[in-house]
């Protein structure tokens, strides 16, 4: 929620805010998302990726302090409210580490506290009515998106299977079918994944559980990336709209470039990692 608010405020206040602050705000939120979702490296990896994963929550904590600064500097929120919200989040981190044994659940507590604190601050902000309106709009978007995400997760898990605690759970679709179509890292499997992703129409948030299910069923890493690249870029309705605006030839060129680049990117990634 704060990402959309600060991003829009940076866009609107390009004259009043220095260019450095605008770009710093954008980079800050992207970094928080990246490090908070940083996945565990391979068990044999003891290099940079291992240390980033080990200390990722410390990195997120440091970036969150900069986030508090951006809330005051860009959104013009009251300093006292932001400080109290940060303190509540810090206390929740300590309590979660003391009373929760499952390390996977610990980050959820401060995340919920931080989101709640930010929502309260925005809803009761009397200095700028737009902050309150955006908080309400964010809640409206959440009510629209979360049911779709839940349906996507359940459907993908039921059809494709999933993994839990390094244990593969089979789905309805046989794994042999997935391995035959997009297993390994051949050019053909990458092309099939990117071509299929280009014509599929599904919500962006549901891509993650779908890819997770496909990986658990035998999909290669390269084709998975190819699908992730081509899926958000294109869909059949998207192609029809582009054709109506740009014409048939330009649409064919655009679709071809997306599929080719996704295929090549997936092939390179699969061979490197």
Which candidate, 32, 49, 31, places its Cα nearest to that of 41?
49
Q: What are phi and psi of 100, to 5 degrees?
A: -115, 125
User: Measured in Å, how far apart are the chain's first and last C-alpha atoms?
Assistant: 34
What are the structure tokens assigned to 163, written together?
């993994």
Checking if the pLDDT of 42 tops 80, the result is no
Checking if the pLDDT of 88 tops 80, the result is yes
Give the span between the Cα atoms of 85 and 64, in whole angstroms: 11
Give the span between the Cα atoms of 132 and 121, in whole angstroms: 9
In this predicted structure, what is the pLDDT of residue 150?
Answer: 78
In this predicted structure, what is the pLDDT of residue 166?
Answer: 62
Residues 6+ apart with CB under 8 A from 189: 181, 182, 183, 220, 222, 223
Length of the chain: 273
Lowest mean pLDDT among 39-48, 67-76, 239-248: 39-48
What are the structure tokens assigned to 187, written together?
């050019």
Higher pLDDT, 176 or 18: 176
Contact between 156 and 212 under an 8 Å Cβ cutoff? The reply is yes
* Residues 6, 207, 105: CA angle, nearest 5 degrees: 70
In this predicted structure, what is the pLDDT of residue 92?
Answer: 94
Higher pLDDT, 49 or 43: 49
Give the span between the Cα atoms of 128 and 14, in whole angstroms: 18
Helix axes 56-73, 19-36, angle to 10 degrees: 150
In this predicted structure, what is the pLDDT of residue 15?
Answer: 47
Checking if the pLDDT of 222 tops 90, the result is yes
pTM of the model as a whole: 0.65
In this predicted structure, what is the pLDDT of residue 263?
Answer: 95
Confidence of residue 20 (pLDDT cuts 50, 70, 90): low
């Amino acid at each position: 929620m704060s990402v959309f608010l600060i991003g829009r405020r940076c866009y609107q206040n390009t004259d009043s805010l220095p260019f450095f602050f605008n770009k710093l705000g954008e980079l800050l939120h992207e970094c928080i998302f990246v490090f908070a979702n940083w996945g565990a490296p391979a068990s044999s990896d003891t290099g940079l990726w291992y240390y980033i994963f080990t200390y990722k929550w410390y990195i997120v904590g440091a970036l969150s302090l900069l986030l508090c600064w951006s809330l005051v500097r860009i959104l013009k929120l009251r300093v006292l409210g932001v400080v109290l919200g940060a303190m509540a989040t810090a206390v929740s981190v300590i309590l979660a580490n003391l009373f929760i044994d499952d390390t996977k659940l610990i980050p959820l507590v401060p995340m919920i506290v931080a989101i709640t604190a930010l929502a309260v601050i925005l809803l009761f902000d009397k200095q700028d009515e737009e902050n309150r309106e955006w908080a309400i709009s964010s809640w409206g978007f959440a009510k629209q998106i979360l049911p779709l995400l839940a349906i996507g997760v359940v459907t993908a898990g039921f059809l494709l299977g999933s993994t839990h605690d390094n244990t593969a759970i089979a789905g309805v679709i046989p794994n042999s079918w997935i391995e035959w179509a997009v297993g390994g890292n051949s050019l053909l499997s990458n092309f099939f994944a990117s071509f299929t992703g280009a014509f599929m129409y599904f919500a962006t948030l549901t891509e993650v559980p779908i890819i997770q299910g496909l990986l658990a069923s035998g999909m290669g890493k390269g084709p998975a990336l190819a699908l992730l690249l081509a899926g958000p870029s294109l869909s059949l309705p998207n192609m029809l709209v582009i054709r109506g605006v740009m014409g048939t030839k330009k649409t064919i060129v655009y679709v071809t470039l997306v599929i080719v680049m996704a295929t090549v990117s997936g092939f390179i990634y699969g061979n490197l990692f």
